[in-house]
Amino acid sequence: MNNVQNDAILFSWADIETGGLDGKREDDDTLGMETYPILEIAMHITDSDLNILDGEGFRVVIHHPDSVLDQMSSWSIKQHTETGLLDEVRQSNITSEQAEQLALEHLKKHNAQPYDREKRAGTIMAGNSIKLDRNYMSCQLPELDQYFHYRQADVSAVALFVREWRPDVEACVNKKYLHLALPDIRESIMEAKVYKEKLFQPGFKVDDDVDLYGTVQFFATDFTSAMAKFDFDDPKYQNDPAIQLLRQQLINLESRSIDLAQKVSLV
């Protein structure tokens, strides 16, 4: 199967700002995802090649009274006061239900269809560390949550592997971590573009039966391992011209296989 753009799939890059974390609250043992407010919802829609399809994107701020805002976590109150989001929340006249419908209208306006598991087509939610966002959606925005594939494209998962295995690629990612929904989404898309460019090159093709990239890598490793098992320096082989010629040929092949594997991994 070739690495080609899938026109049947769109990504909804989503981010929400909330009144706290999604887990159990220390004050009353309720779950944050059920009790803390959703303050802001933002989205950008891209195709599978990460081209933005919805211009400036979507953003809506949800109204909550001070009696609700005062119950948020101390970190959230401080952070969202500094960014000005809480002032926007107080001034908004949009309810959670209205915000959910506006988000759905935005998806439909840009032809981001509900995900169809049988056709393997539709909209997949994407973003950074979106487990929290998805948990909040499932509790407070269930119609929006069910619009997407039950799986999600979490860039943070790729980032963890990159940190361990490709620090050179991690160094290419520049993020400001503003905790503002739309800027955070755009950073996530740019981060995904870095990984796509550096890790998922179009030249890395997987045939129907053979993973060419993996085959080159494993061939080099297996070749080196096989060479190490044969003792060419054994005295009984030292004066055998045929064995020594074979040794030199194998060394040359080993060097070429390792060089090819390195070039493939650095493309």
Output the domain CATH number for residue 88. 3.30.420.10
**How many CA atoms does the CB half-sphere of 243 hold within 13 Å?**
12
CA distances from 75 to 25, 38, 71, 78, 140 (A): 13, 15, 11, 5, 21
Confidence at residue 267, expressed as pLDDT on a 0 to 100 scale: 44
Count of domains for the chain:
2
DSSP the chain: ------TTEEEEEEEEEESS-SSB-TTTS-BHHHHSPEEEEEEEEEETT--B-STT-EEEE----HHHHTTS-HHHHHHHHHTTHHHHHHH----HHHHHHHHHHHHHHTT-PPPBTTTTBEEEEEESSTHHHHHHHHHH-HHHHHHS-SS-EEHHHHHHHHHHH-HHHHTT--------HHHHHHHHHHHHHHHHHHHS-TT--B-SS-BHHHHHHHHHHHHHHHHHTS-TTSHHHHT-HHHHHHHHHHHHHHHHHHHHHHHHHT-
Between 141-145, 171-175, 261-265, the lowest mean confidence (pLDDT) is in: 261-265
1 pLDDT band, cuts 50/70/90, is very low
Better-scored residue on pLDDT, 197 or 155: 155
At which of 119, 139, 155 does a domain end?
Answer: 155
Q: Which of 115, 150, 177, 237 is catalytic?
A: 150
Tell me the residue range of the domain where 221 lies.
Answer: 212-265
Q: Is residue 93 part of a domain?
A: yes
pLDDT of residue 215: 63
pLDDT at 264: 58
What is the rounded distance in angstroms from the CA atom of residue 40 to the CA atom of residue 179?
A: 11
* Structural domain includes residue 1: no
The confidence band for 266, taking pLDDT boundaries of 50, 70 and 90, is: very low
Q: Is residue 235 part of a domain?
A: yes
Residue after which a domain boundary falls, among 129, 155, 181: 155
> Which of the four pLDDT bands, split at 50, 70 and 90, describes residue 206?
very low
According to the model, what pLDDT value does residue 218 have? 64
* Residue-averaged pLDDT of the chain: 86
Residue 4 is assigned to a structural domain of this protein: no
Of residues 261 and 133, more confidently modeled: 133
Task: Give residue 2's pLDDT band: very low, low, confident or very high (50, 70, 90).
Answer: very low
Please state the rounded mean pLDDT for residues 88-113: 97
Q: Is 150 designated active site? A: yes
The one-letter amino acid code at 130 reads I
Segment 124-145 mean pLDDT: 95
What is the token pair recorded at 128?
Answer: 């950074």
Question: Is 249 part of any domain?
Answer: yes
- Residue 151 shares a structural domain with residue 221: no
The pTM is what? 0.72
Rounded mean pLDDT, 237-265: 74
217 and 144 both lie in a single domain: no
Domain boundary among 137, 155, 173: 155
pLDDT digits (tens, 9 = 90+) for 159-182: 999 999 888 888 888 877 777 788
pLDDT in tens, 68-85: 999 999 999 999 999 999
